[in-house]
Amino acid sequence: MYYDMLIRIKNAQAAKKGSLKLPYSTMDMAVAEILVAKNYLKSAVRKGRGAKRVIELVLTDAPAIHGVHLVSTPSRAIYAGYRDIRLVKSGHGIAVLSTPRGVMAGDQARREKVGGKMLFELW
């Protein structure tokens, strides 16, 4: 799941690793694409076939992820309308939501006026 991926990325950046391989899932790939778009990662590529699919992440040179707050957990889902999506760390972080239009960052969800399940906040 995406929460395991986030912690793995944070730990790999702290250990100054250059890249990271994770088991593939559609949700993880969608979250990784958002992190690439927001410059938290250099690239995210799907590799392999069938059950051996993996996501290969290339990390940035300097640690970009300093903290993660998992808003929704497997036992508790938190939903927010587009008006309720707030800035993270005064605009220095991002919120990620699962919306009817797919997984998207908080600023994009506010622009498109769509709410959804708050997944996590990252700074």
pLDDT, position 17: 95
pTM: 0.93
What are the structural domains of the chain? 2-59 (3.30.1370.30), 68-122 (3.30.1490.10)
The residue ranges of the chain whose pLDDT is under 70 are none
- CA-CA distance, 14 to 64, in Å (whole number)? 9
pLDDT, position 8: 96
Angle at 7 between CA 118 and CA 102, to 5 degrees: 35
Nearest to 80 by CA among 118, 122, 120, 121: 118
pLDDT, position 32: 98
pLDDT, position 105: 98
